Amino acid sequence: MDTHPTHLTVELTHWVTSALALRRSAEFSYDTGDPLAVTLIVEADGNRLVRWVFARDLLTEGLAARAGEGDVALWPVDGPDGERSAYCLRLGSTRTALFEIPAAPVVRWLAGTYALVARGAELDGVDWDVLVQPAE
């Protein structure tokens, strides 16, 4: 299968506490070979990378309104002018990490992913007959 990956590198804010914010480099990636998912890799301490995979639709919905439950939750953040300037991403359920990510580059990047595979068309072309065959 021919896959078309697309990547976005952004600087985000890791809110360690309400008074301590660290700048981190992060990369979003999307691969048409796994069209329902996006991957987020965050630089943890300069030597370690943390990788999360979650639904592309969840990322899209979280830019407009609170979305997700369990290990991944997102919600928009309005800037001083009332415009959506960023969104928060909470990862984890017991030990959590909170990130604030600029919205504009993510919105542009997501539009590019939807140009590759339209929303709702992620499973077009899947041969379901082959997938439901019993294992031999």
> Residue 123's domain is classified under what CATH number?
2.30.31.20
Range of the domain at 29: 5-130
Q: Identify whether 38 is part of a domain.
A: yes
Would you state the pLDDT for residue 136? 61
Would you state the pLDDT for residue 15? 92
Total domains, the chain? 1
Q: Identify whether 69 is part of a domain.
A: yes
Cα gap 32→120, rounded to integer Å: 13
Would you state the pLDDT for residue 126? 64
Q: Identify whether 112 is part of a domain.
A: yes
Q: Is the pTM of this model over 0.85?
A: no
Q: Identify whether 52 is part of a domain.
A: yes
Strand partners, 31: 5
Structure tokens given for 54: 């979650």
Nearest of 6, 58, 10, 52 to residue 33 by alpha carbon = 6
Q: Identify whether 135 is part of a domain.
A: no
Each of the 136 residues of the chain gets a pLDDT tens digit; together they read 455 679 999 999 999 888 999 999 999 999 988 899 999 999 877 778 989 999 999 999 999 999 998 899 999 998 888 888 899 999 987 888 999 999 999 999 999 999 988 888 777 776 666 657 776 6
